Amino acid sequence: MRISRFIWFLVSIALGLAAGIAYGWMLNPIQYVDTGPASLRSDFKTDYVLMVAEVYSADQDLRQAIIRLAVLGDETPQQHVQRAIVTAEELSYNPQDMEKLASLVQALQNTSGGVPSGEP
């Protein structure tokens, strides 16, 4: 009698789990619509900023880096990079990545109003 109850308990747990997965994955899955980089978690935003910094270190195109950083929200590109540096330090990013972020923030500090100095 006791083993029979235990078996029915396991069967009912398995059926409930299977029904929950079927409902969540097949009948009513989550659908994300029109989400952008601004909605990312801070660690993923830091990864995005690092990718922008890596591209900037390869091509030195500050204008394009500013455009890429602008999709992260209402803050200035420099603020996005500074926030990414803080998060990267907390997450112990490697020194090469930290140098790329520092190089990008330095270049952004040398701009006026978000437009690279010396360019129209």
- The model carries a pTM of 0.69
Q: Render pLDDT for 76-100 as a digit per residue (tens, 0 to 9).
A: 999 999 999 999 999 999 999 999 9
**How far from 17 is each of 3, 7, 11, CA to CA, in Å?**
21, 15, 10
**Do the Cβ atoms of 39 and 47 come closer than 8 Å?**
no
Q: Which residues pair with 115 in a beta bridge?
A: 112
What pLDDT does 118 receive? 47
β strands within 17-89, DSSP E: none
What is the spatial distance between Cα 6 and Cα 11, in angstroms, rounded to a whole number?
A: 9
In the chain, where are the structural domains located?
Answer: 1-31, 37-109
What is the spatial distance between Cα 94 and Cα 33, in angstroms, rounded to a whole number?
A: 34
Mean pLDDT of 49-57: 96
